[in-house]
Homo-oligomer: A and B are copies of this chain.
Amino acid sequence: MASEIELIERVRRQFPSARGGLRIGIGDDAAVLRPGVGRDWVVTVDAFLENVHFLRKVHPPKAVGHKALARAASDIAAMGARARFFFLTVGLPDACTRAWLDDFLDGMARAARRFGLTLAGGDTTKYPLVVASLTVVGETDRSNAILRSGARPGDLLCVSGRLGEAELGLRLLRRKLHKRKPWAGFLKKHFYPEPRLALGEWLAAHRCATSMIDTSDGLSTDLGHICKASGVGAIVWATKIPVVKIPPELRRLGLDPLDLAVNGGEDYELLFTVPKKYSGRLPRKIKGVSVTVIGEINRDKKVFLLGPDGSRTRLQPKGWDPFRKKG
């Protein structure tokens, strides 16, 4: 059985050594980071727990490693910050200390390279279940982080990518249809979500977003967070939402693309507001990611969905985390 020191060594080998800004990494009591002059630091923590956020029998260890880091990095994207360092605490059952851990670390190391993240420290323990917590540190120019609270009446509401794809992947998984090849793309968005870091940084650098959040809990919930924090309301145009394209052979499942897009979680797209004056100047694709205007911010502190038939329905927060039992 692997000792804790051996585990730490295996983790350390998987990740590249120190880069700029990291004075002392793994191996001391704490990491020493050197912030750049005139920069703010953006820090987030995120738990990733067996049977809540993933199932060991269903989710490949590479996906667990990737997704644990991607979810936390998505919070950094949602602030418009550049991802820099991360820390991992992980409890592991004996059965997971060999091949499972290798794959978990491989998935996390590949994700870290993609996201520009350097491992700076961690803590490993034996545990009956896989329990992980990620701390991710990002950096922005001073006072340039994009908060949830800056949306103003008249701003346009925008979203990146396509909504509902991760939820469709989860539904396929639940129906045990996930091993069919033509639908692998939907599973990919559930297993290997891609935080929109480059888009977030672009928006911060161009100072055109007044508020931002990532769609981790679903559009209906996350838009509610922006409206509450900003003291505003919103109207969302149903026909404008870039909804998941359900393949014809899956129509028999009776899934509603709009419902998946509005209430499905874990797409990790960016939902943000821009002043109307920028609307003409906003590219339809930024850093390779499509950006769509889907609504408008107003004063009335409620969120409505304007249907294709002109009906207005109140949009209640219905998003959820797949394996998280809420309230």
Binding site for B on A (CB under 8 A): 1-6, 23-24, 27-35, 37, 39-47, 49, 51-52, 75-76, 78-79, 81, 85, 87-91, 120-123, 125-129, 131, 133, 135-138, 140, 142-143, 145, 147-149, 212-214, 229, 324-327
Contacts and interface: CB of A to CB of B under 8 A. Distances in A.
A32 B91 contact: no
Number of copies: 2
Given A28-B229, A30-B78, A45 B133 contact: yes
24 contacts: A3-B326, A4-B324, A5-B327, A23-B143, A24-B147, A28-B79, A28-B148, A28-B149, A29-B78, A29-B214, A30-B43, A30-B78, A31-B44, A32-B79, A33-B40, A34-B142, A35-B35, A35-B39, A44-B87, A45-B89, A52-B91, A89-B133, A126-B325, A127-B131
Contact of A135 (B29, B45, B127, B212): B45
Given A35-B41, A43-B30, A91 B326 contact: no
Given A29-B214, A41-B35, A46 B123 contact: yes
A41 B34 contact: yes
A94 B6 CA distance: 35
A76 to B, nearest CB: 6
A29 B148 contact: yes
A30 B126 contact: no
Given A4-B326, A49-B131, A30 B88 contact: no
